[in-house]
Amino acid sequence: DAGVIQSPRHEVTEMGQEVTLRCKPISGHDYLFWYRQTMMRGLELLIYFNNNVPIDDSGMPEDRFSAKMPNASFSTLKIQPSEPRDSAVYFCASSLKWSGQAGAQVLNEQFFGPGTRLTVL
């Protein structure tokens, strides 16, 4: 498997523009996570999905941020309008939460994509 794929790897845009970040999770994984990493706030969970359904979006900073997962192999994180303080590295991660048989299940870790470095001027 190619791992979690994110695009673009780098994005530079001007304040007020719409930005769309894309993620393809590992095939078969049923959880997908969006994180934001900044020097000031470290790694923050923005939102996560289970079986394409948003479970917890309490980390989404503002209404300018929205995320969708139309199918099991694709998710987007959109910022509209973008602001300079949105500049950060955005990570997508996926996991298959449990593996193994009932009674002997193992919690699987989250696999991270390479991240998208967003710069809003």
Which of 54, 87, 97, 119: binder of another protein (CB under 8 A)?
A: 97
Nearer to another protein, 81 or 117 (CB): 117
Residue nearer to another protein on the CB measure, 72 or 81: 72
Contacting range for another protein; rule: CB under 8 A; set: 61-69, 70-78, 79-87, 91-99: 91-99
14: contact with another protein by CB under 8 A: no
Does residue 89 bind another protein (CB under 8 A)?
Answer: yes
β partners of residue 48 = 33, 56
CA angle 67, 41, 89 (to 5 degrees): 50
User: Residue 64, interface with another protein (CB under 8 A)?
Assistant: no
Q: Which of 43, 45, 81, 75 is nearest to 63 (CA)?
A: 81
Contact partners, residue 44, CB within 8 Å, separation at least 6? 35, 36, 37, 38, 59
